[in-house]
Amino acid sequence: MAIHKPQKETPRTGAAYDFLRASIEAQTKIEVGTIIKGTISEIKGNEVLVNIGYKSDGIVPASEFEDISAVKVGDEIDVFVVALENDRGDVVQLSKSRADEKLRWDAVLAKYTEGGIVHGTISSKVRGGLIVKVDGVEAFLPGSQIDVTPIHDPDPFIGQDFDFKIIKISNERRNIIVSRRELIEEQMADKKRELLSTIEKGQHRIGRVKNITDFGAFVDLDGLDGLLHITDMSWGRIKHPSEMLKVGQELDVIILDVDMERERVSLGLKQATPNPWTDIESKYPVNSRLRGKVVNLVPYGAFVEIEPGIEGLVHVSEFSWTKRIARASDVLSVGDEVDVVVLSIDSENQKIALGIRQTEENPWDTVQDRYPVGSRVTGKVRNFTAYGAFVELEEGIDGMIHVSDMSWTRKINHPSEVLTKGQQVEAVVLEVIPADQRISLGLKQASDDPWNTITSRYAIGQLVKGKVSKIASFGAFVELEDGVDGLVHISQISDQHIEKVKDALKVGQEVEARIVKIDRDDRRIGLSIKAVAMNESQVEELSRDLSVTDLKPGENLVGLAAAFDDAFAQSEEWHPGAE
């Protein structure tokens, strides 16, 4: 039986022991989630084997290298330990990209802090903002922090380099939020403080139009916005600032006022040029003739520019000597060039009164030569008033026929009783007053007065025929020849009692009557229908006695002459339709 002696333990010394010990120590330092250095031992297809001093090589996907063709065995790289072993004890995964990413992040944390300034490149657009590359690390730029003004299309910013302010760093999430807006606002605040410390009233400054409103424009003075009011843009009239300015336009402006407390600056543009209203009276004396352009129309007139910054008003009453202009726009348009005459100047209030009609001869100055008193004229009835009719003698020259000058024989209450609009009439010039632009015409004066020969054509007791022209409560008017009217008093219509004239007679009805009264001086003829049946002696007696029986049963006797006088008196106040 063999006896085995215990073997003596070999001392742990030598090179092999040192390598093993170092290997074990290295393995104990390798942990998941750490970054270690390794050496590329082999490139195999889509994998790169890396010796990290572990019992087996780690594997890095070839896709994590920017240029795999430039990678060679023996290169030393940093790798991130993703997992140590699988079921066979092999290293499952290493990552070069995650190692690079963490190293870059650690470098950024060591270099920058919140509130610091970084330089970066906007690389892409994401929901809510943009991605900025800062030293290889992605930072988020919210859309509201891109600029001081709202940005609706961020695409033009992609690829551009800017300085940014770090407003938040989250190490747990590896997230950095940056702002370009805060940096710009701080820079603007610095510029504003610097500008306010040097700006003074009366200075010339160069600015750029930033925004245009209805009342003016805001001008960027490189650090501070100033207001250029529309009234300080031009010595002349402008309706809207956009007529002179456009956004982005560079201007040389004057500082009109500075409010340090509210940080407001008022600007002027027109003040940079001489005031054209200076010595305006000597440049454009009263009665001087000028040519200008219509720049604005209002209901009461037209504003005419006679030089840039100088406008005068032509009132509608100064458009024409003869035409009645209701609105300036009826005869002029904006942009028209017109000749004008200076009527008056108010330099203190910067007002000039102009006239257009003064550039032509006033036809009323020679109207007496063309239409002397007593001359016969013809014209067209243009318009009616309650008291007469206007007759156009020539364009812009009217004469007026008063109702009292329309008929020799009857009282005219309205011109439409005798005339119609558009009717051609012949009249006589009665009066001409050029200063008042007035010509008085007579229609009846153009014919003989039939009352001059009334007694030679009519006699008491004469039998006449005519048509009823008007009916009144006191009687009826009967038109005889030459337009002469006679009055049939209600008591002279019939032997029977007449309650109402219109029950016995109608307008247009032809009647036969006898003349019972003639008064040439008062232009009156009295008629009697019931006297037609009387014989000559009865008519003579009627005319001689001028008395009748009761007008109404039970009333006192009245004289025929008195009845006619009363009726004629009423007719002076009567007008058609009074019944």
In a domain, 194, yes or no: no
d(CA 167, CA 182): 9
Q: How many CA atoms lie within 13 A of 527 on its CB side?
A: 25
What's 206's domain CATH number? 2.40.50.140
Both 560 and 461 in one domain: the answer is: yes
Torsion of CA 142, 145, 151, 154, to 10 degrees: -50
Q: Which of 196, 221, 200, 191 is nearest to 209 (CA)?
A: 221
In a domain, 12, yes or no: no
pLDDT of residue 247: 92
Residue ranges with strand state E in 45-116: 47-51, 58-61, 76-83, 93-95
Both 488 and 569 in one domain: the answer is: yes
In a domain, 295, yes or no: yes
Both 471 and 421 in one domain: the answer is: no
**Cβ atoms 400, 560 nearer than 8 A:** no
Residue in the structure block whose two tokens are 């809510």: 128
pLDDT of residue 90: 59
pLDDT of residue 440: 94
| Angstrom distances, CA of residue 402 to CA of 386, 418, 446, 450 | 9, 12, 14, 20
Residues with Cβ within 8 Å of residue 237, at least 6 apart in sequence: 295, 296, 303, 305, 311
Both 473 and 559 in one domain: the answer is: yes
> What residues make up the domain containing 148?
112-184
Number of domains in the chain: 6
| Angstrom distances, CA of residue 559 to CA of 92, 463, 473, 524, 552 | 150, 22, 19, 17, 13
Both 431 and 507 in one domain: the answer is: no
**Domain C-terminal end among 218, 237, 272:** 272
Low-confidence ranges of the chain (pLDDT < 50): 1-28, 546-558, 576-579
Both 329 and 424 in one domain: the answer is: no
**Domain C-terminal end among 422, 446, 470:** 446
Give tens-digit pLDDT for 337-372: 999 999 999 988 889 999 998 888 888 888 888 999
- The pTM of the full predicted model, rounded to 2 decimals, is 0.43
Residue in the structure block whose two tokens are 């929901």: 127
Both 430 and 509 in one domain: the answer is: no
pLDDT of residue 579: 46
pLDDT of residue 89: 56
pLDDT of residue 544: 67
Q: Could you give the 3-state DSSP secondary structure of residue 531?
A: helix
